[in-house]
Structure 1
Amino acid sequence: MKRFISRRSFLKTAGVTTAAAAVAVGAPSASACFGKGKLPEITILYTNDVHTYIDHKSPELTYASIAALKKSYEEQGKNVLLVDAGDHIQGTAYGSMDDGATIIRLMNEAGYDLATPGNHEFDYGMDRAKMVLKEADFPYVSCNWIDLRSGLRVLPSIKLFNIKGAFVAFVGITTPETFTKSTPAYFMNAKQTRYIYDILGGDDGAKLYNAVQKAIDKAKTLGADYIIGLGHLGVDPSSAPWTSKDVIAHTTGFNAFIDGHSHTVMAGETVADAAGTPVLLTQTGSYFKNIGCMTINPESAVGTITTTLLSTYEGADPVVDAIAKEWVADVDDMLGEEIAVGDGEFYISDAETGKRRIRSAETNLGDFVADGIYAYFNEIEELHCDIAVMNGGGIRADVPAGAWSFKTCKMVSPFGNVACLMSVTGKQIQDALEFAARFAGSGQENGGFLHVAGATYEIHTEIPNTVLTDEKNVWLGSATGTPRVQNVKIYDKVLGDYVPLDPERKYALAGMNYTLRNLGDGFAMFDGAELIKDYVSEDYLVMSSYAMMFGGADGDGLPHLTSANSPLADYPGYLLDYENPYGAGRITIL
């Protein structure tokens, strides 16, 4: 067998910086491969949850640096594959401005060999998701994405690579949370009367585990020497029973598992499968913080798989680099006009701890985005709007103090959802807030956590959640016990005060059609509600319009985003406090 330079020497000469205290964890490889004589060493480079963050500067990681890293391995005679574990076409303006087309082009040029779809690969609609599969020069795999009309998988469940006589199989797995963390309506027929696609999960995980085990067994039948999960599942407890650890624990046959979805930095952790055999689980984090490097070394006594996370790389492929820079410049030019100035920082994270807060509690940016929807209908559309809601998962980035542009708003709200106004009952509002608060106080994030404008409410976390949901976490019915959400109040513009919610009264509720009309995050309680107006403006343009309505213009004519300058400051008694990172106190968690 050809001898290669040591990994340490390669990393040093190639300009790679590893993550601090890089972890190398051994996991026994399949026993079948050791009866075939010497097999080659194999390197697998991997990414996950890149979310279109392509404007990094060297030595931070980019698709150009990944392409150069892969080529450097190949030039040394190494056997190398490059794979991605999902969520690569959505996240910033660089993805949403062309529905991920440039990202796929970059991945093609970078030399990706395989990917599995994450939940955000569906954010531009089912037609676009399936077109992405055609635009990619590399195959996609998923063992649990099913077309219910035929009963067949949409994609192959596995991909088998023959690398100099060694067969490496990847099992693709997509999170069943895709239904509620993308848009459920995209998985339904045109009339939204039934699902025509499924992402197998099961409320106890059995459907998912069975699909994965069948794929593993197929890989074994085809003679795979190594079987690796390529999953977009994550390890967050809120994703149970569909986490990667759950899948490993309920199946047998994996040697390693490359994961995504939870944005976890995990160089390597061993998890016992259903037979007690250790499986190496790894994930790079998100946003190009790291490239994963998995090495399969069959020359050790038992055969070992090790993993390392690489945080920087100084090389860059010129072709990939040029494509990225041109697209970044084009988007910056399209969205670069400055429209306002933020005197302070707007947060999705906790200002003290840095931990993401927007999906579990109030922040000033959550207030700002909800206020933008509320003001858009009341001030620009000149329609009566009682309350606006915005899901925390649709608010994606902190905004530092300084100039705001259209791009700033697009980075905060990149999804391209549009605002709508509906007539709903107070009971439906109560149901929505109760559903949104079902995980509050548990430490679990919820993309459906609702930020409000024109309303206040309390969440009593000591009261158990009793909201009825189906196996896809879509709302089925009201809480059967004491409600966790209490003292809901709606702002009355005539009285200049907040008054108790009347369950029987009709209210004008504004939000994104993702939440109010398309079952996003599982909000199904608005079915049958009267539509007042839809498709008025995209999410980032609603926010941009609100920013441009502020007063306090400076010498350049740019308004300043402070509470006193908000057009809503003219509403007597309306709660505004953008200067407080934790918001104006509209949501009280007890």
Structure 2
Amino acid sequence: MKRIKKTMPFLLVVVMIISMSLTAFAADEVTLADIGAGKSDIVVFYTNDVHGGVSNRNMINGTGPNCLGYAGVAGIMGEAKDQAGAVLLVDVGDSIQGSAIDTDTKGLNSIKLMEELGYDICVPGNHEFDFGLDSFLDMIEASSLNYICCNFTDLDGNLVMPKAYDVLSFTIEGKDVKIGFVGVDTPESIAKGTPKYFQDDDGDFIYTFKEDPADLYQTVQDSIDACRDDGANYVVILGHLGDTGVENGWSSRDVIANTVGAGVFIDGHAHSIIPGEIVKNKIGEDVLLTSSGTKLDYLGVLKLSIADDGAISASSNLINTVTDEQKASDSYKNMDEKVKEVESAYDYLETVYGNSPFPLCIYNSETGDRMVRKQDTNMGDFLTDGYLWYANNDPNLEGFQKADVAFLNGGSIRANIAAGDIQYGHILAVMPWATRVTQIKTTGQHILEALEMGARLLPDDECGGFIVASGLTYKIDPTKPSKVVTDDKGMFIEVDGTFAGGDFRVYDVKVGDKDIDPDATYILVINAYYSENMGDGMTMFKDDERIISSDDNVIDVDVICSYLEEGLGGKVPDKYSNENGDGRIVIEPQEGFPATGETSNYIWMGATLLLISATLSVAYIIERKKDVRC
């Protein structure tokens, strides 16, 4: 122990340096003036994963106090138009879902506000389809928005969006310039969306997002080449792919590494905050990768600077501050008025259902890292306990039976709740889809398969399908190789092995205080996204017997409000005080099953620490011997 302590100051310095390099940009205020724009610049403002975050009104939109809002975007753009040679606004997906204004109108409120704001090009994300594919297509057809996507087609190769790419023309200081934009949406849209929206009545898939990586890369390459053929001097990829935490071969980094001809990749889906990073393409050329986080805490700025000889150079940054001058502008005020007009219909969200003396968290309070997709949290415990309580008490006499277990997927839990009064809007921000709560009879085997599917990406990546539960405890060994088998669309097929044989990463699974029986029948409370729609690729429940279905119209937000108000008497108890949960999910190696295959990062980290400790200890002993000789 003493040896390890001697290494800690060194390690802490390393960690601090790494942390500063990753987060320093987020701590400082960045305005348009800090970035600058001139008449030789085409300024492309970009948003991604807005999720209905049209203002900083947390009660309605689930946003934080730093949200710029659409009014902020309008104010910043208004100033830029007086400075730059040309100004554009683009969005790369997941904008029309995630707040009350969109849950209520199936995304139409955000579509209308995006029209008002004047988006030039948009790309769909996986959540654009949450309210149904046909619904989304009808909305954009009736709007003036310009949606592009090259890899979303039917099985005959016909585009679903109006265009695969677009080429826009500009005159910059007397020079004619054409910029091509290629749209790409994640192949995870099927598994992380609602699979049945992409199937026919027989359950066969009739659409594709080019799930085979080679097909994806070739499709993007074809559109890059088409932009060049149409005269584009420069090509920007607008992708809702994610740079991390996605299936192998589908990330923005993968697409960059397997294509040529694009200079910039504006990314979404992973909610990553990337002011600008250089990634090498297929032939070793530099490509600028950038992404602006989520909920409009940042507005991305891509500056394409046109040199006297016509050469184009790219730089990017993230704005996180709206100046007083911008707030005083007509552009800001007009957009702010339109946003407030939409939000005025949601006063009911301020109804108080209870109080919590401490925060309920999905994000780590110290680091800001999202926890709920990879570990136990007090928010996950609170919500799943609410599901189980509701079923076992059936307060509205809807026909629930006594349940054994309740499930939620971490990806469906979207926000923290701060200490203090808990209003309807707070809970809606946490669960913004108004998802139906269902109850099914399932087997222990199906429960185990869902747990295993949700744990397959640990420890290196989080997973939207990570299972938080009530009535059930389990452990995960992240050093074991995952044996989950999925199809080319990310849909679960099987685990290649048996639970009893130790082939699962999950172990010591208990329902109540008893070991789970794979052959036994259990009553499970679960959202319809999993039980009926195979969300996150969870196919194992699709044929299970329904007790309560989505047709019974039990809304998850109302379930949690009932639990808080009636089940807990309006006060969140101390058992939920630890943001890391109560220990119902434990992540540690399974005794008797040493890691095989690829060693986990944690093991390498431990080995590295021991090596450093040993090296410093030897150096210390040598120096002591020198002292003795002297």
Tell me the TM-score range normalised by the shorter chain. Answer: 0.7 to 0.9
Q: Which moved more, 1:385-394 or 1:279-288?
A: 279-288
Post-superposition offset of 1:502: 1.5
Aligned to 1:200: 210
Distance (Å, rounded) in 1 between the aligned partners of 2:275 and 2:365? 27
Post-superposition offset of 1:135: 4.1
Aligned to 2:157: 151
Between Structure 1 and Structure 2, the one with more helix by share is: 2
Aligned to 2:8: none
Aligned to 2:217: 209
Q: Aligned to 1:365, which of 367, 379, 388?
A: 379
Distance (Å, rounded) in 1 between the aligned partners of 2:248 and 2:138? 30
Aligned to 2:507: 486
Distance (Å, rounded) in 1 between the aligned partners of 2:496 and 2:71? 51
Post-superposition offset of 1:20: 12
- Report if the CA contact (8 A) 1:86-1:121 is conserved: yes
- Report if the CA contact (8 A) 2:495-2:504 is conserved: no
Aligned to 1:349: 363
Aligned to 1:386: 404
Q: Aligned to 1:583, which of 543, 562, 581?
A: 581
Aligned to 1:447: 464
- Report if the CA contact (8 A) 2:53-2:67 is conserved: no
Distance (Å, rounded) in 2 between the aligned partners of 1:250 and 1:22? 34
Aligned to 1:55: 55
Distance (Å, rounded) in 1 between the aligned partners of 2:568 and 2:556? 22
Aligned to 1:571: none
Distance (Å, rounded) in 2 between the aligned partners of 1:22 and 1:477? 53
Q: Aligned to 2:196, which of 179, 185, 189?
A: 185
Distance (Å, rounded) in 1 between the aligned partners of 2:279 and 2:568? 56
Aligned to 1:112: 119
Aligned to 2:598: none
Q: Which moved more, 1:334-343 or 1:114-123?
A: 334-343
Distance (Å, rounded) in 1 between the aligned partners of 2:560 and 2:568? 15
Distance (Å, rounded) in 1 between the aligned partners of 2:143 and 2:255? 28
Distance (Å, rounded) in 2 between the aligned partners of 1:534 and 1:341? 31
Distance (Å, rounded) in 2 between the aligned partners of 1:501 and 1:78? 65
Q: Deviations over 1:258-307 (max 9, x none)?
A: 11112222221122211222111111222212222222222166431222
Distance (Å, rounded) in 2 between the aligned partners of 1:284 and 1:77? 21
Cα separation, partners in 2 of 1:49 and 1:330, compared to 1, 3 Å: same
Aligned to 1:171: 182
Using the size of structure 2 for normalisation, the TM-score is: 0.80
Q: Deviations over 1:19-63 (max 9, x none)?
A: 699789xxxxxxxxxxxxxx9642211111111112328985221
Query: Does the alignment pair 1:65 with 2:72?
Result: yes
Distance (Å, rounded) in 2 between the aligned partners of 1:239 and 1:113? 30
Distance (Å, rounded) in 2 between the aligned partners of 1:403 and 1:579? 15
Amino acid at match of 1:266: I
Aligned to 1:562: 573
> 1:427-506 maps to which residues of 2 (within 5 A)?
427-440=445-458, 442-480=459-497, 482-491=503-512, 498-506=513-521
Cα separation, partners in 2 of 1:21 and 1:298, compared to 1, 3 Å: closer
Amino acid at match of 2:348: M
Amino acid at match of 1:488: V
Q: Deviations over 1:79-111 (max 9, x none)?
A: 111111111111222332222212111111111
Distance (Å, rounded) in 1 between the aligned partners of 2:67 and 2:468? 34
Q: Secondary structure at the match of 1:181?
A: coil
Task: Report how many aligned residue pairs link the two structures.
Answer: 530
Amino acid at match of 2:193: S
Post-superposition offset of 1:411: 0.5
Distance (Å, rounded) in 1 between the aligned partners of 2:267 and 2:471? 40
Q: Which moved more, 1:182-191 or 1:68-77?
A: 68-77
- Report if the CA contact (8 A) 2:55-2:71 is conserved: no
Cα separation, partners in 2 of 1:334 and 1:190, compared to 1, 3 Å: farther
Aligned to 1:516: 531
Q: Deviations over 1:393-439 (max 9, x none)?
A: 00111111111121111001001210111111111111111111112
Query: Does the alignment pair 1:247 with 2:255?
Result: yes
- Report if the CA contact (8 A) 1:23-1:268 is conserved: no
**Sequence identity percentage:** 35
Query: Does the alignment pair 1:226 with 2:237?
Result: no
Distance (Å, rounded) in 2 between the aligned partners of 1:162 and 1:263? 30
Post-superposition offset of 1:228: 0.6
Amino acid at match of 1:45: F
Post-superposition offset of 1:152: 0.5
Query: Does the alignment pair 1:532 with 2:547?
Result: yes
Query: Does the alignment pair 1:402 with 2:451?
Result: no
Q: Aligned to 2:81, which of 74, 82, 86?
A: 74
Distance (Å, rounded) in 2 between the aligned partners of 1:303 and 1:114? 21
Query: Does the alignment pair 1:415 with 2:424?
Result: no
Q: Secondary structure at the match of 2:276?
A: strand
Distance (Å, rounded) in 1 between the aligned partners of 2:97 and 2:313? 35
Post-superposition offset of 1:476: 0.4
> 1:17-96 maps to which residues of 2 (within 5 A)?
18=30, 41-56=41-56, 61-76=68-83, 78-96=85-103
Cα separation, partners in 2 of 1:190 and 1:341, compared to 1, 3 Å: farther
Q: Which moved more, 1:444-453 or 1:478-487?
A: 478-487
Q: Deviations over 1:214-265 (max 9, x none)?
A: 1011111111111110111121153431111111110111021111112222
Cα separation, partners in 2 of 1:198 and 1:50, compared to 1, 3 Å: same
Amino acid at match of 2:151: N
Cα separation, partners in 2 of 1:525 and 1:60, compared to 1, 3 Å: closer
Distance (Å, rounded) in 1 between the aligned partners of 2:284 and 2:476? 42
Post-superposition offset of 1:75: 3.8
- Report if the CA contact (8 A) 1:420-1:511 is conserved: yes
Aligned to 2:306: 298
Distance (Å, rounded) in 2 between the aligned partners of 1:93 and 1:338? 16
Aligned to 1:6: none
Distance (Å, rounded) in 2 between the aligned partners of 1:539 and 1:131? 27
Distance (Å, rounded) in 1 between the aligned partners of 2:485 and 2:263? 38
Q: Secondary structure at the match of 2:448?
A: helix
Post-superposition offset of 1:551: 4.2
Aligned to 1:34: none
Task: Please list every run of 5 or more consecutive structure 1 residues that lacks an aligned counterpart in the other structure.
Answer: 1-15, 25-38, 492-497, 553-558, 564-576
Task: Please list every run of 5 or more consecutive structure 2 residues that lacks an aligned counterpart in the other structure.
Answer: 1-27, 58-64, 589-630
> 1:303-314 maps to which residues of 2 (within 5 A)?
303-314=312-323
Amino acid at match of 2:273: V
- Report if the CA contact (8 A) 1:59-1:313 is conserved: no
Amino acid at match of 2:295: Y
Which aligned runs of 4 or more in structure 1 are off by greater than 4 angstroms? 19-24, 57-60
Q: Secondary structure at the match of 1:283?
A: strand
Post-superposition offset of 1:478: 2.5
- Report if the CA contact (8 A) 2:92-2:268 is conserved: yes
- Report if the CA contact (8 A) 1:188-1:197 is conserved: yes
Cα separation, partners in 2 of 1:340 and 1:127, compared to 1, 3 Å: same
Q: Secondary structure at the match of 2:274?
A: strand
